């Protein structure tokens, strides 16, 4: 099967590295989707192990279309009966970019009609009761090419299941994982998130450092499909086998809000990594460390709630605090336009990254490297 992994703009390189380390080689990224070939066993592995992909889609076809008739014919020609049953609950998802067919809802209606007509003909039934397994059919129109997909994941893969309490402006788990993967943080290094909010970054850092598959415990839509073999138990077992049960991490997470810290502590426990993270309620200005060569990874406030002067002062003080740790590295994600200037200097690494459709900068400041004597 052809598989597609959609991901947020700016994290494609991270998803590609994750695929490489899972043994899938160098997969091409086209228009925010990474493509590769695979079986249902790979579908299960990707859903369970990928940290920054948003979903795993099966691509049924890709055809140039410029009218609704062409769209119907293209959808009707695809072998939906190999994946859907007479009971499938068919839900539509769609998007359109620079295409003559810009009305996404209407396009979805046309594709659904084609799918239903094809199923009735091929399965020899008069109607579909839609009382069974959910299957999301996707139609994505990009420059007059329609791509037809089936969503194997169901809920987006950022929904790991551990984050149940809301605290202001939480970061998507998939984005937090990409920030960590793109940084120099690795197990054994000191780590701190001084604006931890609901705890997403330290939890994802612990999952990453201990090689814990982020989605081993949740369910996926494809599990219920009649066409899918029962491959998840084997993949969940692989996840159990590869996780590091021996390393004890010492991650530090703090926030100025007691409510945030208590939510973060709860989420870390739910994710099974509570014992690896020390949570403290504190202003980030108070942070210092005896440890060397650590890594700060944070997502400071962007400013919806703060006045411009307060925001500038917050980033200025963050930079001052960081410069008192000369051999630490610091990475942060922010949509604040003055972030680098206020922090006190240009970042060595800078990337545009989208968190929930908000364009952010991901900035990296690298600390001094350990000398031979330090190693
Ligand atoms: C954008 S949120 C972080 C969201 C977090 N990454 C998550 O996924 O939930 C920013 C956080 O910074 C905290 N904060 C604001 N000013 C702070 C300060 N001076 N010191 C420490 N934390 C602060 C807020 O309480 C808030 O939780």
Supply the pLDDT for residue 78.
98
Classify residue 11 as left (phi > 0), alpha (psi -120 to 50) or beta.
Answer: alpha
What's the CA gap between 185 and 296, in Å, rounded? 9
Say yes or no: CB of residue 303 within 6 Å of ligand 1: no
**131 SS3 class:** coil
Q: Determine the distance separating the centroid of ligand 1 and the alpha carbon of 254, expressed in angstroms.
A: 9
CA distance 74 to 17: 34
User: In this structure, how many other beta carbons lie within 10 angstroms of the beta carbon of residue 189?
Assistant: 20
Report the 10 Å Cβ neighbour count for 82.
10
* The pLDDT of residue 122: 97
**What number does CATH give the domain 2-151?**
3.30.2130.30
| Residue 207, helix vs strand vs coil | helix
Query: What mean pLDDT is reported for the chain?
Result: 95
**CA angle centred on 86, ends 83 and 89, rounded to 5°:** 75
CATH architecture of the domain formed by 173-212+221-365 = 3-Layer(aba) Sandwich (3.40)
Tell me if 16 sits within 8 A of 50, measured CB to CB: no
Give the whole-angstrom CA distance, residue 223 versus residue 93: 20
Distance in Å, CA 192 to ligand 1 centroid: 13
Are the C-beta atoms of residues 331 and 171 closer than 8 Å to each other? no
Please list, in sequence order, all residues whose beta carbon lies within 8 angstroms of the beta carbon of residue 200, skipping any fewer than 6 positions away. Answer: 163, 170, 171, 172, 173, 176, 267, 299
Count of Cβ atoms closer than 10 Å to residue 190 Cβ: 19
Structure tokens at 119: 């199923």
The domain segmentation of the chain, as residue ranges, is 2-151, 173-212+221-365
pLDDT of amino acid 167: 82
Give me ligand 1 centre to Cα 331, in Å.
15
- The DSSP secondary structure of 18-63, one letter per residue, reads HHHHTT--S--EETTEEEEE--HHHHHHHHHH-SS-S--EEEEEEE
Residue nearest to atom 27 of ligand 1 (CA): 197
Going from the Cα of 178 to the center of ligand 1, the distance in angstroms, rounded, reads: 19
What is the residue-level pLDDT of the chain in tens, covering all 375 positions? 999 999 999 999 999 999 999 999 999 998 889 999 999 999 999 999 999 999 999 999 999 999 999 999 999 999 999 999 999 999 999 999 999 999 999 999 999 999 999 999 999 999 999 999 999 999 999 999 999 999 999 999 999 999 999 888 899 999 999 999 999 999 989 999 999 999 999 999 999 999 999 999 999 999 999 999 999 999 999 999 999 999 999 899 999 999 999 999 999 999 999 999 999 999 999 999 999 999 999 999 987 667 878 999 999 999 999 999 989 999 999 999 999 999 999 999 999 999 888 899 999 999 988 877 776
Which protein residue's CA is at the shortest distance from atom 13 of ligand 1?
A: 195
Closest ligand 1 atom number to CA of residue 171: 8
pLDDT at 124: 94
Give the number of residues written for the chain: 375
Q: Which of these, 43, 50, 37, 49, lies nearest to 7 by C-alpha position?
A: 50
Atom of ligand 1 nearest to the CA of 169: 1
* Substitution site in 173, 195, 271 for ligand 1 pocket (most atoms within 8 Å of beta carbon): 195
Residue 371 token pair: 């000398």
Output the pLDDT for position 375.
67
- What is the value of pTM for the model shown? 0.95
CA of 328 to the centre of ligand 1 (A): 20
């Amino acid at each position: 099967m052809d598989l597609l992994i959609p991901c947020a703009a700016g994290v494609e390189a991270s998803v590609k590295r994750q695929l490489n380390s899972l043994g899938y080689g160098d997969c091409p990224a086209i228009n925010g989707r990474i493509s590769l070939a695979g079986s249902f066993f790979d579908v299960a592995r990707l859903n369970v192990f990928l940290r920054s992909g948003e979903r795993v889609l099966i691509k049924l076809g890709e055809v140039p279309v410029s009218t609704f008739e062409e769209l119907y014919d293209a959808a009707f020609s695809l072998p939906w009966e190999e994946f859907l049953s007479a009971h499938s609950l068919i839900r539509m998802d769609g998007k359109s970019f620079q295409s003559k067919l810009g009305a996404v809802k209407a396009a979805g209606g046309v594709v659904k009609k084609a799918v239903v007509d094809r199923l009735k003909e091929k399965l020899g039934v008069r109607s579909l009761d839609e009382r069974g397994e959910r299957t999301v059919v996707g139609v994505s129109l990009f420059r007059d090419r329609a791509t037809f997909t089936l969503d194997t994941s169901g809920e987006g893969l950022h929904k790991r299941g551990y984050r149940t309490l809301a605290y202001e402006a939480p970061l998507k788990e998939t984005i937090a994982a990409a920030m960590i993967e793109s940084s120099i943080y690795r197990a054994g290094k000191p780590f701190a998130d001084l604006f931890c909010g609901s705890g997403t970054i330290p939890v994802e850092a612990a999952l990453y450092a201990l090689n814990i598959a982020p989605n081993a415990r949740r369910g996926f839509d494809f599990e219920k499909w009649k066409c899918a073999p029962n491959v998840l138990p084997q993949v969940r077992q692989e996840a159990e086998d590869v996780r590091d049960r021996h390393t004890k991490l010492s991650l530090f997470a703090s926030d100025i809000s007691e409510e945030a810290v208590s939510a973060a502590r709860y989420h870390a426990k739910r994710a099974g990594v509570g014992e690896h993270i020390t949570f403290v309620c504190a202003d980030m200005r108070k942070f210092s460390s005896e440890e060397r060569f650590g890594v700060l990874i944070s997502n400071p406030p962007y400013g919806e709630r703060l006045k411009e002067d307060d925001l500038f002062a917050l980033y200025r003080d963050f930079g001052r605090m960081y410069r008192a740790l000369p051999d630490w590295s610091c990475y942060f994600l922010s949509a604040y336009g003055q972030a680098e200037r206020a922090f006190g200097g240009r970042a060595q690494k800078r990337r545009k990254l989208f968190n929930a459709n908000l364009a952010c900068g991901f900035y990296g400041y690298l600390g001094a490297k350990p000398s031979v004597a330090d190693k």
